[in-house]
Structure 1
Amino acid sequence: MESKIARGLGMRFQPVALLWSDEKPSGARQFSPGKWGCVMWLFAAAARGEVAACDRETFGCLGGGTGLGFGNQYLNWPGGVENFYCFLSTGKPDWDASKAELRWEAAKQMLEGERYRRSPELVRYFVQQLPITDIPARYVVFKPLGMVEEKERPVAVIFTADPDQLAALTVLANFGYSTIDNVLIPSVAGCQAIGILPYREAQAEQPRAVVGLVDLSARRNVAKQLGREVFTFTVPFKLFREMEEWAEESFLAKEEWQEHFQSSSGG
């Protein structure tokens, strides 16, 4: 499966298909059970040409498990979900690190807080608004779009876009609709912007695209693999197919934009 859009925009990284599966693809990269890791590393590996997968034992971190649709893993936060509310906001200076197992950086943030929300109560509201999902499959699979077989149906397709490409994708996602807000930029974790939010949109009659990597921690985690200038642009598969059909009649077919994007990519 190929993408006219990626070709037209001269994209450096391959679009990534996100699929649900009960079987793990042969040779797929996967975290070891219980080992910490950022699931955005798995996405980045797929953008660079590998296949990656995770399940309910190998999602790397509780946020990643929640973000990819393995239920509300925040309930399993050391000391209870209330501690997570503190972790994402103000911290908990009196927290006793000896009572729970957290890697060093997380333990430090537990004391100081990540300061991504102003208060624990606002984090509670944040979690309540998430479309938390328990997917009906064992694995979430990240696969370069070019490796997807015709019989496979991705849940979503994820583009890795620089600012010019992000602007173009936003225009194209609105091209065939009377509305002007067919792209979301939610303040959520990087994994949630490629997982549970697009899952929700995929069920809508007019699904919207979701911009991600506004998550500061995720941006730092993938900077070495993808660079510091990119965002994710996740498109439910229905919208992806529409955008692919629109590409040849949109601005992408015009010579000035072909020249612009190809010269920007070094092509």
Structure 2
Amino acid sequence: MTIQSILNDTATFLDHLGLGEEPFGAYYSDSKPEDAYGPKEGTPISRELEDRGEVDMQEVMKTFSCVIGNIWLARKKNGAAFISAKQYGCLGGVYYCSMMKPHLRFIEHYVSTGFKGTPLHGERYMPSPDAMREFMLKVNPRKAPGKYCIFKPLSQFSDAELPEFVIFFARPEVLTGLFTQTVFTTGDMECVVSPFGAGCTNIISWPLYYKEQGLEKAVIGGFDPSARKFMKTDELTFTVSLSLYEKMLAALPESMFNHETDWKSVRKKVERSAKAWGEEQE
């Protein structure tokens, strides 16, 4: 499909869903859009430097910048967000977005139970550093095919530069439509998954994981407490590969949206939700 046909069908899909915000696309490139939102260049980091005790975490945190936070700015400004190996912003994000391997050991403690005998008690999202290490090794993002990992609105792509993944930001009623359309398209009762991860893990790392295995999976995310501040109340993410998304669009004519189904009652709830949050479409 051409980008214009994708956008035309996306407009139809969004109308069916009652979603006023277009999805974002994620891709890798050696150049980034002008005025893209992203981290400042940080102090050098690597496992090798960490093992030698040469990573100053106080300096690292001076340029902290969350991937989901930068996407939040891009969403509000209709712009792009990025992360790179040098402009990393977050020790987890730089790994999850394929910008640095292997991960720093520090993150194993930071996301779990911290370091004993220190003020760092950890985020307590995982029960132990060992459990966090297993998760990091399981996700194991591939080597990035470009200098930058970039996220921008679907309408800003072209036939010369297509997204690798398509990311929706939506509340439960709209997610009902996205979920059901994915199942209708694939016929797979387990085609939608929601594994543990940071906000950025579930919009790029896990989708990459399933794609590399040749599996068509949609990934629901947004359950990371640290990323919630950069998302609307009640909002989650829903990410699919471009190839699966094209199939979902092609399946629209025969889907529940174009027949007498219970979607009509759900669609009314979508409208009530939008009204409650002051997000009615014009």
Question: TM-score, normalised on structure 2?
Answer: 0.79
- Cα gap change, 1:22 to 1:118, in 2 (>3 Å): same
1:205, 1:126 → 2: CA distance? 20
Give the residue type in structure 2 aligned to 1:219. Answer: R
Q: Any idea what SS the aligned residue of 2:247 has? A: helix
Q: Any idea what SS the aligned residue of 2:202 has? A: helix
Task: Answer yes or no: is 1:58 the counterpart of 2:87.
Answer: yes
Equivalence for 1:47:
75
Task: Answer yes or no: is 1:89 the counterpart of 2:112.
Answer: yes
Task: Answer yes or no: is 1:227 the counterpart of 2:232.
Answer: yes
Equivalence for 2:54:
none
- Cα gap change, 1:73 to 1:228, in 2 (>3 Å): farther
The structure showing larger relative contact order (alpha-carbon pairs under 8 Å, at least 6 residues apart) is 1
Task: Answer yes or no: is 1:163 the counterpart of 2:172.
Answer: yes
Q: Any idea what SS the aligned residue of 1:179 has? A: coil
Deviation, structure 1 residue 200: 2.4
RMSD: 2.0
Task: Answer yes or no: is 1:31 the counterpart of 2:39.
Answer: yes
User: How many aligned positions are there?
Assistant: 243
Question: Please, which runs of 5 or more residues in structure 2 have no aligned partner?
Answer: 43-62, 275-279
1:44, 1:165 → 2: CA distance? 19
* Paired residues for 1:73-84 under 5 Å: 74-75=103-104, 81=105, 83-84=106-107
Task: Answer yes or no: is 1:209 the counterpart of 2:218.
Answer: yes
Deviation, structure 1 residue 91: 1.8
* Paired residues for 1:1-267 under 5 Å: 1=3, 2=7, 3=10, 4-34=12-42, 35-48=63-76, 49-72=78-101, 74-75=103-104, 81=105, 83-95=106-118, 111-220=120-229, 222=230, 226-254=231-259, 256=264, 259-262=268-271, 264-265=273-274, 266-267=280-281
Deviation, structure 1 residue 45: 2.7
Give CA-to-partner distance per residue, 1:133-171, whole Å, 9 cap, x none.
221211111111111112222110100010111122111
Bigger Cα displacement from structure 2, 7-16 vs 232-241: 7-16
Give the residue type in structure 1 aligned to 2:21. Answer: F
Contact 1:62-1:73 at 8 Å conserved across structures: no
- Cα gap change, 1:24 to 1:214, in 2 (>3 Å): same
1:181, 1:172 → 2: CA distance? 13
- Cα gap change, 1:237 to 1:167, in 2 (>3 Å): same
Question: TM-score, normalised on structure 1?
Answer: 0.83
Q: Any idea what SS the aligned residue of 1:74 has? A: coil
Q: Any idea what SS the aligned residue of 2:206 has? A: helix
